[in-house]
A and B are shown apart, each in its own frame.
Chain A
């Protein structure tokens, strides 16, 4: 994990508590671009896993990836990841067959549960993979979603 990025974001978070407007002013784009976003430029699942420092993640039944079996519209695919692993620190979502598979990484703290719900784009029928980091260990689980119309254009 990139600690500098954490510090930057934490600063922003606490500022937001004082005043949302102040937070908006403090959040300089340069600081944000400094964040480690290498996983988002990685092509292929292996490269993404490497960028996330998640190679060799163990398959876990304690992670549930909830997504439709068949998605008619690949532009909007609802995905829910629930991790019942104690001390879940972060959940990352990867769409394996997308040109850029990395979808997002969600760092949880201060009582946030191992749960993330969002909507993603899938270019093709693909496995949607969740990568969970908990207590320095990495776990993963995936679910296949069949896509009839892709959502990444091109």
Chain B
């Protein structure tokens, strides 16, 4: 697990536009394997935390209804060029990943 995560953060006026692409299978737990007919166990991201310049700006709880390789976009007012953006997630099996980027 723990494949790379992509973060792109740009300024538009005084608002930072942050886009995150996470790598995750996001299994709902309700899908059946086409070959075996067995349910594929749930495996999805549960929690996401994003910070800008050391302050938490976004805390998310998500479920299996978010698409595979989740995309998340959000906007933060008052951020500055050069601020550090961090994003981390934890899934329902306890796997975790985090990444950081600089607003530019």
Contacts and interface: CB of A to CB of B under 8 A. Distances in A.
Interface of A: 6, 9-10, 12-14, 16-17, 20, 23-24, 27, 29, 32, 35, 37, 40, 75-78, 80, 95, 98-113, 115-121, 151-154
A118 B71 contact: yes
Interface of B: 15, 19, 28, 30-32, 46-47, 49, 51-52, 54-68, 70-79, 84, 86, 88, 90, 93-94, 96-100
Nearest to A104: B62
Determine the main DSSP class of A at the interface with B: mixed
Contact of A154 (B15, B30, B51, B55): B30
Contacts of A98: 65
18 contacts: A6-B59, A12-B49, A12-B88, A23-B88, A35-B47, A40-B61, A103-B65, A105-B62, A110-B78, A111-B77, A112-B77, A113-B76, A115-B74, A116-B73, A119-B66, A121-B66, A121-B67, A151-B67
Contact of B94 (A23, A29, A35, A102): A29
A83 B12 CA distance: 18
B31 A17 contact: no
A75 B66 contact: no
Nearest to B86: A16
Contacts of B65: 95, 98, 100-104, 120-121, 152
Contacts of B68: 75-76
Contacts of A14: 51, 54, 56
A118 B70 contact: yes
A121 B67 CA distance: 5
A128 B98 CA distance: 29
Given A14-B54, A23-B88, A109-B55, 19 more contacts: A14-B56, A20-B100, A32-B90, A76-B67, A76-B68, A100-B28, A103-B62, A104-B62, A104-B63, A109-B58, A110-B56, A111-B77, A112-B74, A112-B76, A112-B77, A113-B75, A118-B70, A152-B30, A152-B65
A112 B90 contact: no
Given A110-B52, A113-B76, A153-B28, A24 B98 contact: yes
